[in-house]
Amino acid sequence: RKEVEQDPGPFNVPEGATVAFNCTYSNSASQSFFWYRQDCRKEPKLLMSVYSSGNEDGRFTAQLNRASQYISLLIRDSKLSDSATYLCVVNDWGAGGTSYGKLTFGQGTILTVHP
C-alpha cells in the first residue's frame, strides 16, 4: 500500500465550481498533515495544515479522520488561479522517537479550472 495515496485526476472544472480531493495515508503514527500546492515546475507551497477538528481558510476547507486515515480538501468557488497540483503531505515528526519530521508526499492531484 502506498504511504500517501491521492486520486491523480486530472480534475477539470469550470470557474465557480466546488471540487473535493481525497487522500489516504498508511502510517497510523503520522503526526501532522498538510495540503501543499505546486505549480508547474515550481516548489511546493504550503496551502494549509489539517487538524482533526477540521479547519477552513477562506474558500478552502480541510478535514482529517484519524480513525480512517483519511484527509480531504474542499475548494469552493474555484478560480482560474486555483489551477495547480494539490499535494497531500504527511509529517512523521517524532514518530517512533527518531524521526525529525520527514514529509511524505502523495503523487498529487491535478486541478484545471477553466473559464
Cβ-count burial of 27 within 10 angstroms (0-12 exposed, 13-18 middle, 19+ buried)?
middle
Q: Does 99 bind another protein (CB under 8 A)?
A: yes
> Pattern of binders to another protein over 72-91, x per CB under 8 A?
---------------x---x
Q: Cβ contacts of residue 43 below 8 Å, gap of 6+?
A: none
| Least distance in angstroms from the C-beta of 84 to another protein | 14
CB 37 within 8 A of CB 47: yes
For the segment 27-66, give every residue that binds another protein (CB under 8 A).
31-32, 34, 36, 38, 41-46, 49
Binder of another protein out of 59, 66, 79, 102 (CB under 8 A)? 102
CA–CA distances in Å: residue 40 to residues 3, 15, 21, 49, 54: 23, 20, 19, 22, 28
Footprint of another protein (CB under 8 A): 31-32, 34, 36, 38, 41-46, 49, 87, 91, 93-94, 98-108
